């Protein structure tokens, strides 16, 4: 049993973990998936979370569990695992029921506010098509999509579909890793079509919701209505179709809906995290159907694209971010655009809250945990060794008390690089350099920055070392 104090501690941890996750995944996903969860206890090193439905549990496990574990371990090193349980009587459900929402639907609506205004101020955009269609995020339009080498093909295909009078290829199948802009492009197509021709009905929903609706229709023996709803749209978009794999009845229904729409010359747009051929648990005949149109992949981001995206976001958010900070983030946060955005949001929120200037230093501080996860594992020892070799001094001089410039300068360079390339704090770095004070490290960082500005040979030396260490 948990004592009251333990429980309070747990709630505090949950609050901190979920706030961090919110900054990373954005408000919409947070409202849909994280907020309805509650923490119900801790058993040994395992935290127990409750969700109101099976759909939610599967989704949370597939998408957020790993990150939740990392974040929680960051708050409390004693937590090693997280279990997500289905608990229909959780507080989240009671609250929703009180508000008159349909309990199960709440958990299953992959995109939240399908019932439009009924879900209150969180509902963004408006529904298109019918009530099944999820709302569109107003930010996910073409003008806010930054185009670069990794996504130019997918972007061009999306534009083509959005602007065409007739169906240029069917289906358009967009695929790529998580957080690379698939949903953004789909919403952008929907906005564009709506704007060009409001008479065309566009339906956008996640594959999860499609499945959920289908299962519910089966239960309510209402599949005719279900089919009609889908078959009367001009453009059908289904996001994340990898979730259809393995569910035979839903797949079957999807296949028929798909064929019916294609036969009637309606446009279908799908997204997934894999190419049609690589989708697991999907029948061959469906795979070959999916391959019939245009398959466009979004590749992992490049440094240039990440920097361009950051510049665009900073401008939209009207934050005055020094180029150095943006370069640092583009350099360090490489996983996907969502994480990149999350990082910028966090830094911006923090500096605004605290009223501090946005600098490289604050960025490193605020993103400490995230950076550590993204660290390319350059160690301080490695830095010391390389720098010593480069300047022809002994590694032991990195720790020694000698103050001769011939050793003090390389030592400062090593401290500087340790600050730049690892996510260690100033005191931690100081300790690794013969137990020096954090102010000594701070001074070293300042000094090296100054020298770099005034001495181009020195600047080149440092740059060379940095590149070597980053491999
Ligand atoms: P996916 O659906 O592929 O997982 P999303 O479309 O949800 O990814 O994108 C994640 C976040 O990154 C969104 O906030 C989106 O606006 C942003 N994003 C992704 N790619 C780009 C891009 N090229 N330009 C601007 N924002 C982008
Ligand atoms: Mg998506």
Closest ligand 1 atom to Cα of 186: 6
| CATH number of residue 173's parent domain | 3.40.50.300
Residues 408 and 459 grouped into a single domain: yes
pLDDT score at 87? 76
Residues 74 and 161 grouped into a single domain: no
Q: Are 374 and 336 in contact (CB under 8 A)?
A: no
Q: Tell me how far the alpha carbon of residue 243 lies from the centroid of ligand 2, in angstroms.
A: 12
Distances (CA, A) of 129 to 252, 303, 364: 23, 38, 45
Residues 336 and 386 grouped into a single domain: no
3-state secondary structure of 205: strand
Could you read off the pLDDT tens digit of each residue along the chain, which spans 471 residues? 445 667 778 888 898 899 888 888 877 778 777 888 888 888 889 999 988 777 678 778 878 888 899 999 888 888 999 999 887 643 333 333 333 333 233 333 333 333 333 333 333 333 344 567 888 888 999 999 999 999 999 999 999 999 998 899 999 999 999 999 999 999 999 999 989 988 888 999 999 888 888 888 888 888 888 888 887 899 999 999 998 877 777 888 888 888 888 988 899 999 999 999 998 888 888 899 999 999 999 998 988 999 999 999 999 988 889 999 999 999 888 888 999 999 999 999 888 888 888 899 899 989 988 887 766 668 899 999 999 999 999 999 999 999 999 999 999 999 999 998 887 889 999 999 999 999 999 999 999 999 988 998 898 889 888 877 875
Q: Give the ligand with the smallest distance to the CA of 243.
A: 2
**Is the C-beta atom of 410 inside 6 A of ligand 1?**
no
Tell me the pTM.
0.59
Query: Can you say whether residue 470 is alpha, beta or left, with left for phi > 0 and alpha for psi between -120 and 50 degrees?
Result: alpha
C-alpha span between 90 and 83 (Å, rounded): 15
Residues 258 and 329 grouped into a single domain: no
Residues 85 and 132 grouped into a single domain: no
Q: Give the ligand with the smallest distance to the CA of 142.
A: 1
Q: Is the peptide bond before 123 cis (omega within 30 degrees of 0)?
A: no
| CATH number of residue 37's parent domain | 3.30.300.180
Q: Tell me how far the alpha carbon of residue 136 lies from the centroid of ligand 1, in angstroms.
A: 14
| CATH number of residue 347's parent domain | 1.10.8.60
Residues 256 and 360 grouped into a single domain: no
**Is the C-beta atom of 179 inside 6 A of ligand 1?**
yes
Residues 20 and 92 grouped into a single domain: yes
pLDDT score at 131? 66
Residues 323 and 275 grouped into a single domain: no
Q: Are 301 and 150 in contact (CB under 8 A)?
A: yes
Q: What share of the chain is helix, strand, coil (3-state, %, to 5)?
A: 60, 10, 30
Residues spanned by the domain of 318: 303-373
Residues 139 and 241 grouped into a single domain: yes
Q: Give the ligand with the smallest distance to the CA of 238.
A: 2
Task: Choose one of 79, 98, 117: the last residue of a domain.
Answer: 98
Task: Choose one of 48, 76, 98: the last residue of a domain.
Answer: 98
Domain count, the chain: 4
Task: Choose one of 44, 77, 98: the last residue of a domain.
Answer: 98
**Is the C-beta atom of 171 inside 6 A of ligand 1?**
no
Closest CA to 399 of 426, 434, 437, 436: 434
**Is the C-beta atom of 342 inside 6 A of ligand 1?**
no
The best mutation among 145, 181, 243, 334 to test binding of ligand 1, ranked by most ligand atoms within 8 Å of the C-beta, falls on 181
pLDDT score at 398? 96
Q: Tell me how far the alpha carbon of residue 172 lies from the centroid of ligand 2, in angstroms.
A: 15
85 secondary structure, DSSP code? E
Q: For atom 25 of ligand 1, which residue has the closest CA? A: 145
Residues less than 5 Å from ion ligand 2, measured at CB: 182-183
Half-sphere exposure of 43 (CA within 13 A, CB side): 6
Half-sphere exposure of 154 (CA within 13 A, CB side): 30
DSSP string computed for 441-469: HHHHHHHHHHHHHH-HHHHHHHHHHHHHH
Q: Are 193 and 165 in contact (CB under 8 A)?
A: no
Q: Give the ligand with the smallest distance to the CA of 342.
A: 1
The dihedral sign for the CA sequence 285, 290, 291, 292: positive
Tokens encoding 101: 């929402």
Residues 86 and 111 grouped into a single domain: no
Closest ligand 1 atom to Cα of 187: 6
Residues 271 and 194 grouped into a single domain: yes
pLDDT score at 375? 63
C-alpha span between 455 and 312 (Å, rounded): 33
Residues 141 and 127 grouped into a single domain: yes
| CATH number of residue 408's parent domain | 1.10.1750.10
**Is the C-beta atom of 178 inside 6 A of ligand 1?**
yes
Q: Are 330 and 307 in contact (CB under 8 A)?
A: yes
Q: Tell me how far the alpha carbon of residue 237 lies from the centroid of ligand 2, in angstroms.
A: 12
C-alpha span between 449 and 427 (Å, rounded): 19
C-alpha span between 172 and 260 (Å, rounded): 16
């Amino acid at each position: 049993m948990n004592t009251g104090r333990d429980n309070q501690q747990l709630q505090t941890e949950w609050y901190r973990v979920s706030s961090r996750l919110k900054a990373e995944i954005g408000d919409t996903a947070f409202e849909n998936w994280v907020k309805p969860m509650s923490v119900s206890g801790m058993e040994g090193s395992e935290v127990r979370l409750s969700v109101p439905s099976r759909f939610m549990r599967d989704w949370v496990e597939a998408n957020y569990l790993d990150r939740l574990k990392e974040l929680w371990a960051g708050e409390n090193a004693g937590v090693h695992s997280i279990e997500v349980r289905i608990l229909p009587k959780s507080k989240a459900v009671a609250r929703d029921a009180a508000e008159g929402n349909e309990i199960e639907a709440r958990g299953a609506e992959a995109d939240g506010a399908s019932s439009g205004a009924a879900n209150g101020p969180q509902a963004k955009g408006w529904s298109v098509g019918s009530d099944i269609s999820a709302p569109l995020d107003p930010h996910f339009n073409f003008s806010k999509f930054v185009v670069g080498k990794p996504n130019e093909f997918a972007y061009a295909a999306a534009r083509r579909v959005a602007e065409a009078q007739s169906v240029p290829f069917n289906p358009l199948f967009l695929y790529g890793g998580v957080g690379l802009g698939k949903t953004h492009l789909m919403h952008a197509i929907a906005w564009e079509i709506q704007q060009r021709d409001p008479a065309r009905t566009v339906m956008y929903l996640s594959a999860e919701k499609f499945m959920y609706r289908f299962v519910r229709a089966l239960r309510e023996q209402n599949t005719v209505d279900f089919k009609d709803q889908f078959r009367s749209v001009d453009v059908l978009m289904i996001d994340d179709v990898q979730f259809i794999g393995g569910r035979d009845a839903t797949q079957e229904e999807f296949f028929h809906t798909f064929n019916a729409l294609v036969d009637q010359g309606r446009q279908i747009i799908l997204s997934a995290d894999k190419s049609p051929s690589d989708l697991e648990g999907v029948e061959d005949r469906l795979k070959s159907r999916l391959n019939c149109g245009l398959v466009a992949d979004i590749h992992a981001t490049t440094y240039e694209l990440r920097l361009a995206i950051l510049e665009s976001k900073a401008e939209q958010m009207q934050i005055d971010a020094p180029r150095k900070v943006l370069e640092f983030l583009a350099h360090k946060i490489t996983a996907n655009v969502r994480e990149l955005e999350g990082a910028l949001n966090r830094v911006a929120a923090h500096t605004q809250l605290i009223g501090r200037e946005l600098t490289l230093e604050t960025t490193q501080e605020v993103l400490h945990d995230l950076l550590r996860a993204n660290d390319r594992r350059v160690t301080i020892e490695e830095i010391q060794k390389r720098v010593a070799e480069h300047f022809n001094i002994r590694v032991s001089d990195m720790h020694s008390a000698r103050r001769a410039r011939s050793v003090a300068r390389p030592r400062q360079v090593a401290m500087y690089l340790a600050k730049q390339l690892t996510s260690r704090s100033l005191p931690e770095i100081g300790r690794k350099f013969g137990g020096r004070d954090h102010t000594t490290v701070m001074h070293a960082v300042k000094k090296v920055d100054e020298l770099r500005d005034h001495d181009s040979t020195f600047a080149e030396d440092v740059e060379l070392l940095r590149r070597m260490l980053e491999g």
